[in-house]
Amino acid sequence: MRRMPSGFRHAAIVGKYQARGIRPALEEVAHFLVDRGLEVSFERDTAAATGVTDFEALSPQQMGQRCDIAVVVGGDGTMLGIARELARWNLPLVGINQGRLGFITDIPMGQHMEALAPIVAGDYEEEQRSMLEGDVWRDGGRIFEGLSLNDVVVSRGATASMVEVRVDVDDEFVANIRADGLIVSTPTGSTAYALSVGGPILHPSIAGWVLVPIASHTLSNRPIVLPDRGEVHIGIVSGKDVSANFDMHTLTSLMVGDQVRVRRSAFKVRFLHPRGWSYYATLRRKLRWYEGVV
């Protein structure tokens, strides 16, 4: 984690534009930033869906090329979607939470002014989160590729029986697993789906992944923490309507013999937090660990 001394000049605003009544909140943040001397643009889909026309609308690529900070107003799903788009541009992200949990959109909406003012002036704490990249192979050819901040999930169809997968790490066989599915999670994703099916929480600074079976047929198939080097191969041995999900992007109807390959991405996501931000305090609040000092 680092504290950086420089301020920002051009902010992009990204919103959970499906949320009813979000436009006033987005415009409030935009005008707040303008009053502090920043040029402000809106992400293209956010502007179109909310009807905001007072600010320039930019594509994610244009945001990466022209902006030096992005302010995301919404929940963790909104952040996940734009983080994958902007990671290749190394654009830092600030999250203002209008969702429910908000592990990575950590500034409450009612506190955004006092939190944003020092951040845009250059007084903040920064952390970087690792990402996964992966692809699906069939008959020797790649048929799908994706990028994930949270996880890659291979799972059975809604009405089908369980799936059987073969797991290899690099060239070493690990196990055949019969279950409802299998999760490969980053430390960021360890507080998402992986946590709900019994996986451990990994601190974001740990260079590792969590491999978590979903409702395994064999109780001895337990979550395992792997180093985040090399490549995890998940081969489809049996199952119908099997899918692979890369955060919010899904490839349905995997076939027996298909293989999902997952590895560490060269890109990282940059998050900016108010000074004094604590990962452990976030866990206490979001998971309601109220015992002890809060």
What's the CATH number where 70 sits? 3.40.50.10330
Regarding whether 114 and 42 lie in a shared domain, the answer is yes
pLDDT at 5: 44
Asked if 135 and 258 sit in the same domain, the reply is yes
Same domain, 63 and 164: no
Residue 279 in domain: yes
Are 46 and 156 in a shared domain? no
pLDDT value of residue 252: 78
Q: Does 81 share its domain with 160? A: no
Task: Work out the average pLDDT over 170-199.
Answer: 96
Confidence (pLDDT) at 2? 43
294 within domain boundaries: no
Residue 100 has pLDDT above 90, yes or no: no
Asked if 26 contacts 49 with a C-beta cutoff of 8 angstroms, the reply is no
DSSP state of 219: T
Specify whether 142 is located in the same domain as 72: no
Instruction: State whether 45 and 149 are in the same domain.
Output: no
Judged against a pLDDT cut of 90, whether residue 200 lies above it is answered with: yes
Q: Quick count: other Cβ atoms within 10 Å of Cβ 86?
A: 25
Active-site residue 76, yes or no? yes
Nearest to 30 by CA among 53, 47, 49, 55: 55
Residue 293 lies inside a defined structural domain of this protein: no
Report the distance separating Cα 242 and Cα 174, nearest Å: 21
Q: Which residues have a Cβ under 8 Å from the Cβ of 141 and sit 6 or more positions away?
A: none
Domain membership flag for residue 78? yes
Picking from 219, 215, 224, 217, the residue whose alpha carbon sits closest to that of residue 184 is: 224
* Pair 97, 147 in one domain: no
Do 155 and 244 sit in the same domain of this protein? yes
Q: Domain for residue 204, yes or no? A: yes
Domain assignment present for 292: no
The two tokens of residue 66 are: 């022209």
Percent pLDDT > 90 in the chain is 82
State the CB neighbour count (10 A cutoff) for residue 291.
7
Letter for the amino acid at 141?
Answer: G
Assess whether 243 and 220 both reside in one domain.
yes
* Strand intervals (E) in 151-277: 151-155, 163-169, 172-179, 181-185, 208-214, 224-227, 231-238, 242-246, 249-254, 259-273
Q: Does residue 45 carry a pLDDT above 90?
A: yes
User: Shortest CA distance to 249 belongs to which of 177, 152, 127?
Assistant: 152
What total number of domains does the chain contain?
2
Residue 6 confidence (pLDDT) above 60: no
Residues 224 and 140 in one domain: yes
How much of the chain, in percent, has pLDDT values that exceed 70? 96
Torsion of CA 270, 98, 82, 7, to 10 degrees: -40
d(CA 72, CA 109): 11
Residue 291 is predicted with a pLDDT of 61
Residue 28 belongs to a domain: yes
What average pLDDT does this structure show over 36-53? 96
Options 68, 76, 106, 228, the catalytic residue? 76
Rounded to the nearest integer, the mean pLDDT of the chain is 92
The secondary structure of 43-89 as a DSSP string is EHHHHHHHT--SSEEE-HHHHHHH-SEEEEEE-HHHHHHHHHHHGGG
Burial class (CB in 10 A: 0-12, 13-18, 19+), 279: middle
Burial class (CB in 10 A: 0-12, 13-18, 19+), 28: middle
Domain that holds residue 167: 131-265
**CATH assignment of the domain containing 231:** 2.60.200.30
Q: What is the largest CA-CA distance in the chain?
A: 59
**Measured distance CA(161)–CA(197) in Å, rounded:** 18
* Mean pLDDT to the nearest integer, 236-253: 90
Confidence of residue 293 (pLDDT cuts 50, 70, 90): low
Are 89 and 140 in a shared domain? Answer: no
Q: What is the pLDDT of residues 108-146, one digit of tens each?
A: 988 989 999 999 999 999 999 999 999 999 999 999 999
